[in-house]
Structure formats: C-alpha cells, structure tokens
Amino acid sequence: MKFRSDPSQIRGSLAPVVTPFTAGGAVDHDSLRALVRWQLDSGSHGISLGGSTGEPSAQSTAERIAAMRTVAEAVGDRVPFLPGTGSAKLDETLELTAAAAELGADAALVITPYYARPTQQGLYDWYATVAREFPDLPLVVYNVPSRTAVDIDPETVRRLFTDFDNIVGIKETTKDFEHFSRVIHACGPELLVWSGIELLCLPLMALGGAGFISAVANLAPAAVAEMYERWERGDHAGARELHYRLHPLVDLLFVETNPAPAKWVLAQQGRIASPYVRPPLAAPSEAGLDRVRALLAQGGDLTRQL
C-alpha cells in the first residue's frame, strides 16, 4: 500500500490479469501467483485483478477476496495493486472494497453498477457512498458501458472528482474517444485516466492519460509496458511501432468473448494450468481457434520478452 498516499504514482501499464481456474472450475491460486510473477518480470507497472477480464461476476465474494489476497501477497508493494471491487450490489461492493483496503491495495477500481441502468444521480450517489465509507482509500471509477449498459457522464465524473478527494481517476473502456477528452477537460489534468480500450491506449497519452489497463498485457506484458515507456521518454515513433505491432494480439483477444481466447493462449504457453472459463462463457469454438492461431502467427513474437 505504499502508493496509496500518492496515487499520482499509479501510472503506466497496469496489467488486468485473468483469473485462472482449474479444469474443474476452482480458482487456481498457483497459476495466479505465476501470472503475477511473470507480469512483474516483464516490466508491468502495476497489477489489476477483478475487472472484466478477471470474470468477477462469475465468482463469489469470498472467491474474489481470496484472489485479491493471493495477488496482494505476490505483488508485495513492488508495484501498485489496483483490484476491482465493484458489483451490481452495493453491500457486495462495500465488502469487497473493505477487503481491498485491509489487504493493502493502493486503490480500488469500482465498476459502474451493471444491469440496473441507474440515472446519473444514481451513479453519483453510488460512488459517493463508497467514497464516504473509505475516505483513506483512493478510488477509480470504472466506465465500461458495453458490459454495464450505463455510461457515466463527464459532468458526473467532474462532480465526484470535485466533491471527494479520494476519487482520483477513471478507467475508460469506451470506444467513444470524445468521451475521454471531455472527461479530462471537465476535471482537469489532475484526474488520472487510464484506457481499457486496447487501440485507444496510445492515443490517450496525447490527451494526458496516466496509462492503460489493457487486456492485451495478459499476452504481451513487456511490449505494452515498453509502449508506455517509449512514449514517456519522447520516442513517439517507437511507441507507435509497438501500437501497430500489437494489433493482431488485440484482435485475438476478441475473436470470441474475452478472456476465453487469452486464456487458451496462456494455457498453450504453460502460463496457466487450464484455459477454463466459467459459465456463461465458453471455450473458443474450433472456428474461433483457427482465427486465434492465425493471429498468433502474426503477433506472437510479442508474447515473448522484448
């Protein structure tokens, strides 16, 4: 939790790791530890767990807390730890966020409540409740309208950022790039903004973004981290080169619903013991795997260390 007191240090490529399961469907903590070690060895600037790529809605609260504990211990304050603690239910969100705070998380990533489709005032009240409950824990709004059926307005983000010192940033997972710009314009450069859309990660840096929480870091962590570092040191051409080289792996992620294709690749590479995804997700189809193999042939060199 050494980054908790200064969340402005939480920058760069924060890898949103998958949650590995055994072939029988249980959370595989050994594979999870191995993934975190690989991410750290590959230069990822932070670790996230429990976002969409981590299949949180298919896990019990107890399972999510146990996985957070495993990752917190594996990270050991070497880089920022930013777990997802949101749920469709407020009591679960508060329980998960309390666990994250106790386990030493540097900040908590709280998704907009899904399925209910709240109004903007409802979203404000939701985040205000979490912020008041945990005044010493930095909170990051997680906006992913394709999965939640609700889009938090820039003005709502501004209200929350203005009213609560511990609401420090937002993960924007929307293909509406204008939304990124309007959020930063409304809140100012002090708001930390990360992209969760793979092909908008590098463009966000030109707007003043803090980095990215990109699922492609599950496959090519060194390349994604290096893309950020090249941009920061002024090697914009080099950063663009990596951006375009990552395209096949980005396409691979979404051949079928994320994270099933990524888990298949990780299992093939021996990084996790099983590619199992929990229902309602399913293993990639044979046609999907043909496409995954073709894309891996194009971009697979980046799955190895640079």
Supply the residues annotated as catalytic. Answer: 142, 171
Angle between the 154-163 and 120-133 helix axes, to the nearest 10 degrees?
A: 30
The Cα 184–Cα 200 span in angstroms is 15
- Using an 8 Å Cβ cutoff, are 226 and 179 in contact? no
DSSP-assigned letters across all residues of the chain: -TTTT-GGG--EEEEEE---B-TTSSB-HHHHHHHHHHHHHTT-SEEEESSGGG-GGGS-HHHHHHHHHHHHHHHTTSS-EEEB---SSHHHHHHHHHHHHHHT-S-EEEEPPPSS---HHHHHHHHHHHHHH-TTS-EEEEE-HHHHS----HHHHHHHHHH-TTEEEEEE--S-HHHHHHHHHHH-TTSEEEE-SGGGHHHHHHHT--EE--GGGGT-HHHHHHHHHHHHTT-HHHHHHHHHHTHHHHHHHTSSSTTHHHHHHHHHTTSSS-----TT--PPPHHHHHHHHHHHHHHGGGGS--
